[in-house]
Amino acid sequence: MGRIEIRDFDGNLEDLRSMARQSWLCEYGSAPWRDLFRPELVRHIFAGVPDPRFLTAAYEGSKLIGFMANLPRQYRLRGKTYQGVVSTMFVTRQGYAGAGAYLISECLRRNAAFGADFALMFFVRGHRPWPLFDRVLGKRVRIERLKTMHAIVHAVDFDKIVYSQSLTAFEVAAIKLLGAHRPIVRPPTPGLVRKYQREDLSRILAMTRRYPDQDSLVRVFDEESLGRQLSSGDVTQTVVYEREGSVHGFINFSTHAMVTRQGGYRWAWVDLLSWEGLSGSEKKALLAGLWEASRARGAIGILEWNKAYYSKMPLYRARFIPWLPLVEARAWILNPDLSLSGVNSVVEEVI
């Protein structure tokens, strides 16, 4: 093994995607994994990065052996505003896992230099980096667990879910018994469910600023970042509920490619939601709009992580069901005066 150097990513997206695919196919085997490096998604993610130093890579000579993106954010918590980053897209080439600790260490150094109070990460439970991070970095950087999140899902194309997930006959029968394979039918309501329009931005921005932050870590948006989150090409989309000429609720989702050895399949992941003040039938109508928009995007299912900042009862009434795996939200604390202990909900996309 040659000399390993940690430096700014050189921008070779084709090389990055190839490395990630080889690494994750080996790690996950037949289990599905999310293709975070498809070109449309990468352009969307990197659009919010203001400085190349937030994109950090490990090299052996000119050979890319590791990568991590650090996405700058602002958050509210208990009436105060903090600078944070979401550290994501972490991957190392097979045989170079040890370089990951050096890569993470440099990312944390850079994040601290930029004034970040913490670095937030989402990991599938059992994913191999955490034991490494706990062992190597846990003695130098305080790591706090925010919450463990389970998924709830609803089918859009049930036959493709059965095939892609290799479901057993028992699992198929159980899902059909619960009704999660059926379309979500829109009930009659006094309002209109429609696709997001640019004119809705200021209203939705005001709604995001009303998320309570007592024990909740709430992402703070400006118009530019929220506009990108609400509608971005083939990656993000939003459906809204309009009544009497005003938006009273919305659901924002991202389209992700889940890859297995059988092929790739799209899923719609719910990122942001607000529907306080809507009736039960209006919430179901909005969920039906989400189902229809997901089908139009070619998604085979809808997935929502239990981020706990709103009641999931309307989803369960619409026949969403629990699903594996589990995701843990953890944070490296860079501000010695800050603790995220007691946070029980997160308003942020899982990425």
Structure tokens at 8: 């700014």
Looking at the predicted structure, is the pLDDT value of residue 1 above 60? no
pLDDT the model gives residue 106 = 94
The reported pTM is 0.94
Is the pLDDT at 307 greater than 80? The verdict is yes
CB-based contacts of 161: which residues, under 8 Å, 6+ apart? 155, 167, 265, 300, 301
pLDDT digits (tens, 9 = 90+) for 47-67: 989 999 999 999 999 999 999
Lowest mean pLDDT among 22-31, 121-130, 171-180: 121-130
Residues 38 and 89: beta-carbon distance below 8 Å: no
Tell me how far apart the alpha carbons of residues 284 and 279 are, in angstroms, rounded to a whole number. 9
Of 19-28, 82-91, 203-212, the poorest mean pLDDT is in 19-28
pLDDT at 262: 64
Token reading at 24: 């994750």
The mean pLDDT of 326-343, rounded to a whole number, is: 94
Distance between CA 116 and CA 110 in Å, rounded?
A: 9
pLDDT at residue number 2: 63
Identify the band that residue 259 occupies on the pLDDT scale cut at 50, 70 and 90.
confident
Q: Out of 51-55, 94-98, 225-229, 300-304, which region has the weakest mean confidence (pLDDT)?
A: 94-98
Under the banding of pLDDT at 50, 70 and 90, the label for residue 136 is low
Mean pLDDT throughout 21-27?
A: 82
Q: What percent of the chain stands above pLDDT 70?
A: 94
Omega before residue 188 within 30° of 0, cis: no
| pLDDT, tens digit (0-9, with 9 covering 90-100), for 150-189 | 999 999 999 999 988 889 999 999 999 999 999 999 999 9
- For the chain, the average pLDDT equals 92
Do 210 and 236 form a contact (C-beta atoms < 8 A)?
no
pLDDT at residue 141, rounded to an integer: 85
Q: At residue 135, does pLDDT exceed 70?
A: no
pLDDT tens by residue, 217-257: 999 999 999 999 999 999 999 999 999 999 999 999 999 99
pLDDT at 32: 78
- Please report the pLDDT score of residue 264 as a whole number: 83
| Domains observed in the chain | 4-149+331-338 (3.40.630.30), 151-326 (3.40.630.170)
**The residue type at 136:** V
* pLDDT at residue 91, rounded to an integer: 92
Other residues' Cβ atoms within 10 Å of the Cβ of residue 156: 26
